[in-house]
């Protein structure tokens, strides 16, 4: 088998952990597999480098930040290659440009355009373990770029796709995908498998195990993913196109506390109003999630929508550029909210799922502010103070035997 393994920054934070990772890699190699490993920068390296940059230039260009930060992955890749060699295993570290990992020129958040497999297959043909510096690529001008959040996951999936790897293992500090966050919810169970679409919804909804972009890419190129623990040696959760013979009704409960609810009261009810509003937000790269619009009355209406709480200030600045907002009675922002969601490909054929979720919340006397549904998920917006109770109650109603 050809296996791509990805280890995050905490997995390679110091010499001892680098050696531990080398042990995991060695197991796969000694079992006869060809292995490509993608690593992130060690521990807090990236944060330390960002701090260094801020000391010389608080508004450093993204091009130079990419140049600075990619040194982090370069160092951890070299160290892991050394650790493997100390175990007597042939290994070679490679950087983004050395495997022709071409991206667009969007420094700090670049998209992968292509990867040249020549060097990779050459090294694998020699039975070398290839250690790749994750998160990095080069644009067509040969300037170094970075792939943004979850960039090393994306590197791993992209490399697995072009090499047609049999499996792409993402090692993290959790040992798989759970029916809910086990740190919050009693009785949360590890899933053996999950579909790409379910994982996408869970990632978006704040499960934070895998970054969305890597799951989207895995789905597009049909790369089998496995989320495993970098600490314990046991099976993780498989992410693939079809998961399980019988679809589970719901796969998991997720919550996202990084949400802001924006309420615009009494905006003029004229054609194109919603279009202009959301076009401005879109131009400012603000993702709008749940949208609720009141029925027009007296020539005006109310609009409520949610965004990521991180983008609150940018969103308010963008809204100031919409003329009609001036005519609104009020614009309110509330970050004391949580989005609670259940996800499962099975729910589309089970109409009772939503009412079961609402029942669990009603039993806890938790008020639902907004509702959004898709074929494989139901999300509700609730008070942040109810968040822990809510996720436990909803999990209990679906997962308690």
Binding site for a second copy (CB under 8 A): 15, 18-19, 22, 49, 52-53, 55-61, 63-65, 67-68, 70-72, 74-75, 77-83, 85-86, 92-93, 95, 97-98, 119, 142-144
Two structure tokens written together for 87: 């175990």
Closest contact distance (angstroms) between CB of 72 and a second copy is: 8
Output the DSSP codes for 300-327.
EEEEEEEEEGGGHHHHHHHHTT-GGGGG
Between 64 and 334, name the residue whose CB sits nearer to a second copy.
Answer: 64
Q: How many CA atoms lie within 13 A of 192 on its CB side?
A: 7
The values of phi and psi at residue 54, to 5°, are -60, -30
Number of neighbours of residue 54 by Cβ within 10 angstroms: 11
Closest contact distance (angstroms) between CB of 94 and a second copy is: 9
Between 140 and 329, name the residue whose CB sits nearer to a second copy.
Answer: 140
List CB contacts of 273: < 8 A, sequence separation 6 or more.
267, 324
Between 68 and 333, name the residue whose CB sits nearer to a second copy.
Answer: 68
- Sign, CA torsion 373/340/251/175: positive
Closest contact distance (angstroms) between CB of 26 and a second copy is: 13
Between 75 and 354, name the residue whose CB sits nearer to a second copy.
Answer: 75
Between 57 and 349, name the residue whose CB sits nearer to a second copy.
Answer: 57
Between 70 and 341, name the residue whose CB sits nearer to a second copy.
Answer: 70
Closest contact distance (angstroms) between CB of 88 and a second copy is: 11
Closest contact distance (angstroms) between CB of 126 and a second copy is: 12
Closest contact distance (angstroms) between CB of 285 and a second copy is: 24
Between 76 and 338, name the residue whose CB sits nearer to a second copy.
Answer: 76
Closest contact distance (angstroms) between CB of 11 and a second copy is: 14
Cβ pair 192, 132 in contact under 8 A: no
- Measured between alpha carbons, how far is residue 203 from residues 144, 210, 291, 384 in Å? 28, 6, 20, 19
- Measured between alpha carbons, how far is residue 262 from residues 34, 206, 211, 265 in Å? 51, 19, 25, 10
Q: In what order do the strands lie in the sheet with 136-138?
A: 112-114, 102-103, 136-138, 144-146
């Amino acid at each position: 088998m050809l296996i791509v393994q990805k280890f995050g920054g905490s997995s390679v934070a110091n010499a001892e952990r680098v050696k531990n990772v080398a042990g995991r890699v060695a197991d796969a190699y000694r079992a006869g597999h060809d292995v490509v490993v993608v690593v992130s920068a060690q521990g807090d390296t990236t944060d330390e480098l960002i701090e260094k940059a801020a000391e010389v230039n608080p508004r450093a260009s993204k091009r130079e930040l990419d140049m600075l930060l990619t040194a982090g992955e370069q160092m951890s890749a070299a160290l892991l290659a050394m650790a493997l060699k100390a175990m007597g295993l042939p290994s070679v570290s490679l950087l983004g440009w050395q495997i022709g990992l071409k991206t667009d020129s969007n420094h700090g958040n670049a998209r992968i355009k292509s990867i040249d497999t020549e060097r990779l297959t050459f090294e694998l043909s020699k039975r070398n373990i290839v250690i790749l510096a994750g998160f990095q690529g080069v644009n067509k001008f040969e300037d170094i770029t970075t792939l943004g959040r979850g960039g090393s996951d994306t590197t791993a999936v992209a490399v697995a796709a072009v090499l047609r790897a049999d499996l792409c293992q993402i090692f993290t500090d959790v040992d798989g995908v759970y029916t809910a966050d086990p740190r919050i919810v009693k009785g949360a169970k590890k899933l053996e498998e999950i579909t790409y679409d379910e994982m996408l919804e869970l990632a978006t909804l704040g499960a934070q195990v895998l970054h969305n972009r890597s799951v989207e890419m895995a789905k597009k190129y049909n790369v089998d993913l496995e989320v495993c623990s970098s600490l314990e040696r046991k099976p993780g959760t498989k992410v693939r196109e079809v998961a399980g013979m019988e679809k589970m009704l719901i796969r998991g409960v997720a919550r996202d506390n990084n949400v802001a609810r924006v309420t615009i009261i009494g905006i003029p009810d004229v054609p194109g109003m919603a279009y202009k509003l959301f076009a401005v937000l879109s131009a400012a790269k603000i993702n709008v999630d749940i949208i609720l619009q009141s029925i027009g009355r007296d020539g005006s209406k109310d609009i409520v929508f949610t965004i990521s709480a991180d983008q609150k200030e940018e969103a308010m600045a963008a809204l100031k550029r919409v003329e009609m907002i001036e005519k609104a009675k009020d614009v309110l922002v509330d970050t004391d909210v949580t989005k609670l969601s259940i996800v499962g490909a099975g729910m589309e054929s089970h109409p009772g799922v939503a009412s079961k979720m609402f029942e669990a919340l009603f039993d806890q006397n938790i008020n639902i502010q907004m509702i959004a549904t898709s074929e494989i998920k139901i999300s509700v917006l609730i008070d942040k103070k109810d968040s822990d109770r809510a996720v436990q109650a909803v999990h209990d109603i679906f997962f308690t035997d």
